[in-house]
Chains A and B, each alone.
Chain A
Amino acid sequence: MTIIDKTADVPAPRGSTENSGPLLDVRDLHVEFKTRDGVVKAVNGVNYSVSAGETLAVLGESGSGKSVTAQAIMGILDMPPGRIPQGEILFRGEDMLTMGYEERRKIRGQKIAMIFQDALSSLNPVLTVGYQLAEMFRVHQGLSKKDAKAKAIELMDRVRIPAAKERVNDYPHQFSGGMRQRIMIAMALALEPDLIIADEPTTALDVTVQAQVMDLLAELQREYNMGLILITHDLGVVADVADKIAVMYAGRIVETAPVHELYKRPAHPYTRGLLDSIPRLDQKGQELYAIKGLPPNLLKIPTGCAFNPRCPKAQDICRTDVPPLLSVTERDGGELPGRHSACHFWKEQIHG
């Protein structure tokens, strides 16, 4: 209960002095899965933090561990086969991994909410969207069925679903993909949480709808001053909304940077590769760049830097020593706040 009381006085405005610590702080998180073929090391020491009003984009290919990290934060990992052998997930300074089930449950939905990639499979197919939205108010706030439904309609209006009143009793399959994702967003927003984790919220949508949904999400985030973790593999989506970026590879963070810095000067060959593989109008007619090779097998992560078999600049040291995530500085040693890289040759990468 103490935790709930402490967290009740939010949201704190961005940069507020009383709440100077980050909203969420993930420290040295490890996640592994026992499978038939061996232990899959999905997350291997991830550190990141998000403050109120801030948007962190977590970037990576599938298998990089970005979704698993989010699921660990949310407490929705399948355990077993999943296991968290090491690490802390601090929410307002309290480690959620050591909390009891009830304590944690009260954070879920109320303080931290999640938006999933595939709204069709993530919404219960046999319950009306109104019921699924109203459920949030009924369970967490003890509202009556009727009041909760009124709130649900309000929410649907809020995420701009046309004719909310008429559609509140419809089932998920009766909505279009974009509308369904709006319902997911509405559900996450219902109790005005402090932090929203959006796991590839627009991947399953048409390009035109993607922008609408992303804009809506960004707008609501500003309005409620929420922290947002945006998990994606789409660099295009990131540029418009994120404040800072963490790039993940084989379960580790390989680079962090404020969003525009990263685009200008990547400090890791993997990031460079990702940026180069974005199709650009001025390169029309040329062959599109692609990072060679395949994503690593998490059962047998390469020794040294996990990226070394695919890296164009790999040296001997890359095959033996794991590069730590180090602060990146200007050529003259000047500080670059928020910039880190896990590459032995970050200097060459960023300045060379």
Chain B
Amino acid sequence: MPEALETPVKDATQPGSVPAAESKPEKARSLWSDAWHDLRRNPLFVISAILIVFLLTMAAFPGLFTSADPRHADLANHYLQKPKWGNFFAPDWFGYDVQGRSIYARVIYGARASIAVGVIVTVLVTIVGTVTGMLAGYFGGWIDTLLSRITDIFFGVPFILGAMVVLTSFEERHVYVVILALAFLGWTQIARVARGSVITIKQADYVMAAKALGASTTRILLRHILPNAMAPVIVVATIALGGYISAEATLSFLGIGLAEPTVSWGVDISSGQEQLRNAAFVLIIPSIMVSITVLAFIMLGDAVRNALDPKLR
């Protein structure tokens, strides 16, 4: 455990360790290349990246992992049949649920809904949040006041509770409904981070220089501000992605997220809770999948943050 999680040795150029800082590395390093240099050596990053690639493959091509049909119910033979831990990758590996469906197949096929929710919500909130935060931070004045107040309003509504309110209004909760509900309430965090980041960058000399050279506002925003403001946004977004997957599962568990016939981990956890006493595996196996997925994205976000912000190390 200690070996596997060892992060790279302290950075020689880190502020704070004054003496070491006096030695300049020979080649100049940019923030991103330095970060990449760090990341490749960080086991946390390597493990999470492998996991994520694996999960994405599972979401895209579930047929690669199992030939069983996740919706095929076989009540006669398999009612709550216990897992056969030795039968790797076989339909009965993780046993069968209440309706006699292969839990292994459902876990594989469930990845798609969970990961789609996580990824698409993250993309949406990143776009909305970055644009809002960038406009508020760059223009300031009444635009900032207005956008910041709107952000505050959405921030004030508790996330899960708000999503519950929105989702109960829909009779049929398709994946896209859940995505929109989460994105509708979730963009504020990114907006706040982006705003703070833009305010700092706005005062940087290179932005002043670009202004003095007569660059247009659009050019300054897109070429100078945006790329430099993205580092903290990417970190927050990666970590939030795990949170959205967790939120989807929570909502499905409460019975107001995704619902049958959609195959998702949250749906399975929800249906598993009735059988907690005599067949805990029905609930625990999809729970473990959710946890692993969330863990992978949070670890990735963590590793990226450490690499981009050496101060935090």
Contact = CB atoms under 8 A, between A and B. Distances in A.
A260 to B, nearest CB: 29
Contact of B17 (A62, A78, A298): A78
A42 B10 contact: no
Contacts of B10: 34-36, 81
Interface stretch (A63-71, A133-141, A166-174, A187-195): A63-71
A40 B23 contact: yes
Nearest to B26: A297
Given A37-B25, A297-B24, A297-B26, A77 B12 contact: no
Which of under 10, 10 to 19, 20 to 34, or 35 or more describes the interface residues of A? Answer: 20 to 34
Nearest to B25: A37
Given A37-B25, A297-B24, A297-B26, A67 B9 contact: no
Contacts of B9: 34-36, 81
Contact of B19 (A37, A77, A297, A299): A77
B20 A40 contact: yes
Contact of A298 (B8, B11, B18, B23): B23
Interface residues of B, number: 14
A305 to B, nearest CB: 19
A309 interface: no
Interface centre among B11, B19, B23 (most CB of A within 10 A): B19
Contacts, number: 57
A40 B12 contact: yes
B275 to A, nearest CB: 52
Interface string A78-95: 100110000000000000
Contacts of A298: 22-23
Contacts of A270: none
Given A33-B20, A37-B25, A67-B19, 18 more contacts: A33-B19, A34-B9, A35-B23, A36-B9, A37-B12, A40-B19, A42-B20, A42-B22, A62-B22, A68-B22, A71-B18, A71-B19, A78-B19, A81-B9, A297-B24, A297-B26, A298-B22, A298-B23
24 contacts: A31-B19, A33-B12, A33-B17, A33-B20, A34-B9, A34-B10, A35-B20, A35-B23, A36-B11, A36-B12, A40-B12, A40-B19, A40-B23, A42-B20, A63-B22, A63-B24, A65-B19, A68-B19, A78-B19, A81-B9, A81-B10, A297-B23, A297-B25, A298-B23
* Closest CB pairs A-B (n = 4): A35-B12, A63-B22, A68-B19, A298-B23
Interface of A: 31, 33-37, 40, 42, 62-63, 65, 67-68, 71, 77-78, 81-82, 294-295, 297-299
